[in-house]
Structure 1
């Protein structure tokens, strides 16, 4: 075939028309799928929001490279990330913004207190929501396209209570919660199941997710001779709490849920965060899973840092949504949601399969501590 430089003008024009038509056809055969991420990209928990976003971004880049075919067209995934500031009102605004932008799949919110009110907007707008919010109320509304992609407070709080009773042999514990939907939820579950396991809850104190001074409540628990403190809250409060426990001579374990299982705890707490901290995190130990090392290496190569708590779960759920699209041969959120209830997906964290309410049918919970500033697994339940 002669080169374009040696073709007659009319022949060249005809060829250009054909090429333009071919390009239009190729573009027409590509379907855009917007994936929203709602999380705290500012404030104390911004590290977690960015980590979650990175997990979704990595999955989207891999899916686009695969050129997934659904309904006879190639899907092109596009990330739209919004800062909900960890605030319920802002989370509802973000949900409405996604609805207006015709986003049909959202990963997040991160915070239970944001996920509970936002879930109604997502449901009413026909949007599939996948959250790591652990408060049981999130999936009690019966919304068909709301999924919790990690263990609930019931599972995480129960596992930490079991560990405290069986492994630490605790008898007299104190509880602190930060009054958020997450903090209250997990603290109450730990308290309930600790008492069922024979432990005495000597005191239940309260703080906020903005506090920095815990001297008064820690002194109150020290006076009650507790042999551990369970904190329902986030790492930006958990780390200074660990420091202040040492300063007050309250040398007992600080227990918590998945939000304390973060490198941010060691970063903020320094030498005060070590084997004195025990936290329970949903999922198996990623580095020991078949696809775990490959994910960790890919994440580090792309973002120049280690993944935090939930990047693997957000990555997995994005991939599961794509698999469900293929299974349903549709990008309709309701059909994709129905497929996700019917099939399972093997991700880097474990196997994902959902019950009718959108909870994981089965999930491991692993208890960790910190050694040399790095999370170290102790036991799985």
Structure 2
């Protein structure tokens, strides 16, 4: 599919001047950020927004320079409520605000429709959390992500479920969002092997609170593993209801539910080693100290722990800013080539992009929950 992209000149994309005269002028470069700051995933959206602000505060504190001139970076944050219609509305709002780049969105369901708006306006977009394969398969030249896609995440989880956990009778539930259905579909593609049976495929929604009907249907089929495609705000209450119904199957899912908050949302339904999930990204070895240092700085600044995607948001801002510095310009048409060839050592590891805009050699981290705490099992690539 051929895509025509119109890159607007720098002056039209928000490089503003303040001050009494040109000699004292201070350039302002606008970086847009979008996540659900309201709704069931607001805790994740705020986590993202905090990390974007943290990166920009640090860059400004060090003195951000483009082409020999000091620049002030300004975060323009919007709330998409995890709703596709609201997502496209705020995307257009950022285009109208003439931002120089966008970090976001969080949910695949908002990122994908918004990406066309940014592409048509010639604005570079780096998603720190979107995992739906379709996002980069559109081949928009300015669309990037810093986490592995569902194709890798779902496939890795299915292999682990069958090869390591020995799952034979598997049920799948998804919340019908772009993300939830996508990761479930990718899991199903890889969930094949001798004696492996798909005993059920059920659907819910991101706003449903009672799952008794579908869980009762699944219980009758006696699964030893249930895979869920969706966010922690649904997975937590679902785990409570699984326990109430006496369903002992292992529970598995992707990064949308793989949060520190899942144990709180699930209560005693979290169990001990019952839940296995994967987070796109992850570090081990010497990189763990870099990540720990970031988490400590984040907690000191905001008096709260990282929820999930904050390190990837932080790195996404830093990668965009580095590309601007390498290009000596905040004009997307000028820094886009630098972004395509960048090799950046970030909190989350080495960031490089393939021709589609996907991160190269993306890592996945496997977690379980013990003692009500998320516990890392392994990092795989």
2:158 equivalent in structure 1: 161
Question: Is 2:265 aligned against 1:268?
Answer: yes
Question: Is 2:295 aligned against 1:296?
Answer: yes
Residue 25 of structure 1, CA deviation: 5.3
User: Does the Cα contact within 8 Å between 1:106 and 1:127 map onto a contact in 2?
Assistant: yes
1:219 equivalent in structure 2: 216
Gaps of 5+ in 2: 1-18
2:39 equivalent in structure 1: 43
2:89 equivalent in structure 1: 93
Other structure's SS at 2:256 match: helix
Other structure's SS at 1:260 match: coil
Q: 1:26 to 1:168 in 2, by over 3 A?
A: farther
In 1, Cα distance between equivalents of 2:71 and 2:363 = 33
The TM-score with structure 1 as length reference comes to: 0.91
Residue 101 of structure 1, CA deviation: 0.6
Residue 198 of structure 1, CA deviation: 6.3
Residue 294 of structure 1, CA deviation: 1.5
User: Does the Cα contact within 8 Å between 2:287 and 2:347 map onto a contact in 1?
Assistant: no
Question: Is 2:378 aligned against 1:379?
Answer: yes
1:59 equivalent in structure 2: 55
In 1, Cα distance between equivalents of 2:184 and 2:57 = 38
Equivalenced residues, count = 359
Question: Is 2:198 aligned against 1:204?
Answer: no
User: 4+ runs of 1 displaced by more than 6 Å?
Assistant: none
Other structure's SS at 1:195 match: coil
2:135 equivalent in structure 1: 138
Residue 230 of structure 1, CA deviation: 0.2
The TM-score with structure 2 as length reference comes to: 0.91
Deviations 1:132-173 (A, max 9, x none): 211111111111111122110111111111211222111111
Q: Name the stretch that deviates more: 31-40 or 280-289.
A: 280-289
Deviations 1:58-112 (A, max 9, x none): 1001000111211121121111111111111111110110011101211111111
1:1-381 map, 5 Å = 24=21, 27-28=24-25, 30-131=26-127, 132-195=129-192, 199-274=196-271, 275-285=273-283, 289-381=288-380
Residue 340 of structure 1, CA deviation: 1.4
Residue 354 of structure 1, CA deviation: 0.5
Q: 1:154 to 1:41 in 2, by over 3 A?
A: same
In 2, Cα distance between equivalents of 1:348 and 1:92 = 30
User: Does the Cα contact within 8 Å between 1:219 and 1:248 map onto a contact in 2?
Assistant: yes
Residue 373 of structure 1, CA deviation: 2.5
Other structure's SS at 1:291 match: helix
Deviations 1:170-206 (A, max 9, x none): 1111000111000110000001111268632111100
CA RMSD of aligned residues (A): 1.6
Q: Which has the higher helix share?
A: 1
